[in-house]
Every structure is written in C-alpha cells, then in structure tokens.
Amino acid sequence: MNARPARIVPLAYAVMIALGALALMLPQATADGRSPPFLVALFTSTSAITVTGLAVVDTAAYWSPFGHAIIFALFQIGGFGVMSGAALLAILVARRLNLSAQLMVQREARGIAMGDIAGVLRLTLASVVVVQLLIAMALSFRFAGEGRSLGYTLWLGLFHAGAAMTNAGFSIVEGGGTVFVRDPLALGLLATATIVGGLGMPILHDLRRHRGAASRYTLHSKLTLVGGASLLFLGFVATLAFEWGNPGTLGALETPHRFVNALYHSVASRSSGLNSFDTGAISQDTMLVTYALMFVGGGSVSMAGGIKVSTLMVIVATIWAEARGDRDVTLFRRRISPGMLREALTIAAMAVLVVGAASLAIRSLAPQPLRHLVFEVISAFGNVGLSMGVTGDLPPAAQTLLVALMFLGRAGMLTVAVGLALRSRQAAYRYPEERLIIG
C-alpha cells in the first residue's frame, strides 16, 4: 500500500512518452513528410517529457514546424508535471507520517502547507507561464530583423524561453544555442529562465511567503540557494580557467564574452543543456567539472535533474561533521535527522551505481572514447542534455540505453526519494551497538 503513491509518477511518464512518440511518428511531424524510425520518435519523446534535451537528429532541420510544436508541448507537459507532481507527492508523504513528523516536514523540508494543494498548483502554473512569457517577449526582439515573419519570430522566442524555463534544452534554429555566443542579453535571459526553473517549488513558495526575508526561509531553501550559488560560482571559475585559451570554446571569443559564456556554461551544465559553445571541444579538465555539475543538478521539486543540491549539501555537511568529531550534523542551526542522512546517501550511492553500470554497458556497445560516453550517460541520467556530439552516431542499443537512463533519472530518482520517505518507520526495539573498523 505504501508503495502505490510512488508508482504514479513513472506510470504517468511512461504513458506520456508513448503518446508523444506516436504523435512524432506522424508524417506531418518531419520536414521530409515521412514517418521517422520508431527509435528516433521514442528518443525525442523521452528527451522532451523528461526535459533532458538530448537528440539523435538535428531538431531544427529534421522536424517540421508541426513536429516542433509537438516537442514544445511535450516538454511543457513534462516540466509542469515534474514540479506539480513532485510537490503533490511531497505533500502526500507528509500526510502519511505521524503528526510530529508532519509538522517537521511542513516547517523545514518542504515549506508547503499540507492543505495548500490548489495554491501549489496555481503557483506552479503562474511561475511557468509568467516567466516564460516575459522572457519569450524579450527573446523575440533578439530574433526580429532577420527576415522572419512576426508570427515565426514570436514562436522562436516562446520556444526557446520554454526550453530554458523547463530546463529542456531544445532549439529550433540552426546552430542551436551557439547562435547566442556573442549575445550577452539573450544568454542572460536564457540563464535566468533556467535558474528559475531549477529552483524548485518549495523555494518559489518561500519567496512568495517571505518576500525576501532570507532569515525566515526554510532550511531546504537556504541549503538550495547557498549550495546552488556555490556550484554556479565554482563552475564559472573552473570553466573560465580551463577554457580561457581553448580556441574551440572561449579562446575564440573577446574577453567580455569569455566571462559571459563561462558563467552561462556553469548554468547550462546544471540541467539546461542549451550550450552556447561547442561542448565537444571542451578540455578534459572542464569535462570533469561538467560531469560533477550535471550529476548534482538543481533544486528538489524543480524541473532540474540530478541528485539535487540539497542531497549534496547534506552529504558534505555529514563529512564535515564527522571530520570535526561532531555528534550531530547541523546546518544553519538546524540538526539533520539520521533518517535524512541515510536518504541522501542512498540516493547518491544509487546514482553512482547506475551511472557506473551504464557507462560500462554503453562502452561495450559503442566505439566512441570512454570519456565521451560517460559524458552522455551522466547527461542522460541527470536530465541535462549537453552532448559531446556523439548521440546521433551511437548504435540503436546504446541509444535505447540512454532512453532508459533519461526515464530512470527523472521518474526513477523521484520514485526512490518518495519510496524512502514512505518507508521511514521506527522499530519497537533496537539491537546492541557494536563498533566496526572503518578505513
């Protein structure tokens, strides 16, 4: 009975992916008017619903305007479903706990009142619609004056705003996000949409309730904001340092554009996937940093993927407390429960195992360099969408594996998190404690 709520999300994703694949298999969805191969339709539908952004074909050239509209609808459904579905499941988890645990969850973990389901949905929809429309209007000015009709210009602005806001990373212009490499305003707008979409429902709820009074934010909001800002800064500095002289990335740009694109790469690596320069040309040093950023992702109950910033922060705090010999793990003058520590470690360990096993599996299926394959695996599992440019060249078996990873990274990790919370219980007895030799 406890497991049933956790089955809702993966089942809903599977149904929507299937419907999306069927829609994309219509002849009208492709530019040449012929039905695409089933794997191409399935891969694209999965990538859109899970708001990943990986593609096995050139999205701009392969799909027709009708196909682009289908993809837009799919990542809108996927993005809205991620935030609203996860928020509702979080409330459901709270209701299944005892009274004291419910109050703690409401106060510190989620920040969403258990009776405020309608308010949660309204806030989700309002955030998605308002931010997208504002950024879409601003981006439309960027696409204007290039010989396009007014309607198509507005459509380009809306599509890219939606792709950034939902962290989907798709683009329907030739060259994708690289057309913005010398456009700081466009990159700033896309980065803003990406960050808002990756914050998460509890933080948006906090911002609305407390109107900037940071001292009153929940622990979850403080952890995500501080952790997210720290990762953004570290990614910016690392990209700037490692790519400054790389002629394939930042080295070909003027100094101001190097700073802007380094910062944007740090944002895109967290979950967006809409790259502004050739990701396949980055150095191996930057590749390692990007691995880490993609693996962590964004905020919980958000459109971003990964193991989530709060998970990383709890693990880091645990390591710090153990190194100091502290009895309790504390953050912002709040003690983290042992159950929360186990959940964070479980999610991180399972993610590492999945990425490791998938990397070994795809290495046996594809001839590309291992570092490129690992990049694709982490990007798929973290629902990021950045690519080394090898996704379309992978054999069908390897592409099918990436489909499974995108699905598992989105629906699977949320299911695991909810399942762990629902199974949390306190036994009526405890066994004797015994120390082990560790290390």
Q: Rounded to 5 degrees, what are φ and ψ at 298? A: -115, -145
DSSP secondary structure string, 306-332? SS-HHHHHHHHHHHHHHHHT-SS-EET
Mean pLDDT within 260-284: 92
Higher pLDDT, 439 or 24: 24
pLDDT of 93 reads 55
Question: Where is pLDDT greater, at 255 or 218?
Answer: 255
Whole-number pLDDT of residue 425: 58
Residues 6+ apart with CB under 8 A from 268: 169, 177, 191, 194, 274, 275, 276, 386
CA distance linking residue 12 with residue 138, whole number of Å:
34
pLDDT for position 301: 76
Nearest to 388 by CA among 375, 397, 402, 401: 375
Q: Which helix (H) or strand (E) holds 103?
A: helix 99-104
Separation of alpha carbons 297 and 356, rounded Å = 17
More confident residue, 42 or 271: 42
Per the CB < 8 A criterion, the answer to whether 268 and 194 are in contact is yes
Long-range contacts of 138-147 (CB under 8 A, 24+ apart): 138/185, 138/189, 139/186, 139/189, 139/190, 142/180, 142/183, 142/185, 142/186, 143/173
Computed over every residue of the chain, the mean pLDDT equals 85
pLDDT, tens only, 171-204: 999 888 899 999 999 999 999 999 988 887 778 7
Model confidence at 227: pLDDT above 90:
yes
- The Cα 321–Cα 326 span in angstroms is 5
Of residues 81, 117, 116, 110, the one with CA closest to residue 94: 110
Average confidence (pLDDT) over 385-400: 93
Type and span of the H or E element at 151 = helix 150-165
Can you tell me the mean pLDDT for 76-82? 81
More confident position, 103 or 386: 386
Q: Flag the least confident range among 4-8, 143-147, 237-241.
A: 4-8
pLDDT of residue 377: 97
Q: Determine the pLDDT at residue 158.
A: 94
Length of the chain in terms of residues written: 439
Task: Give me the half-sphere count of Cα atoms (radius 13 Å) on the Cβ side of residue 260.
Answer: 20
Contact 11, 412 (CB under 8 A): no
User: In the chain, pLDDT over 70 holds for what percent of residues?
Assistant: 85
Mean pLDDT to the nearest integer, 280-285: 94
pLDDT tens string 309-365? 999 999 999 999 988 888 888 888 888 888 788 888 988 999 999 999 999 999 999
**Predicted pLDDT of residue 422:** 58
What is the average pLDDT across 133-138?
92
Distance CA 153, CA 158 (A): 9
Q: What is the DSSP letter of 30?
A: B
The 10s digit of each residue's pLDDT in 81-123 is 766 665 555 555 555 544 444 443 443 334 455 445 556 667 6
Work out the pLDDT band at 30, boundaries 50, 70, 90.
very high
Q: In whole angstroms, how large is the CA radius of gyration of the chain?
A: 22
The mean per-residue pLDDT over the stretch 220-230 comes to 91
Instruction: Mark residue 297 as left, alpha or beta (left: phi above 0; alpha: psi -120 to 50; beta: remaining).
Output: left
In the chain, where are the structural domains located? 4-422
The rounded Cα 94 to chain-centroid distance in angstroms is 24
More reliable by pLDDT, 94 or 59: 59
Terminal CA-CA length for the chain: 40
Mean pLDDT of 10-15: 84
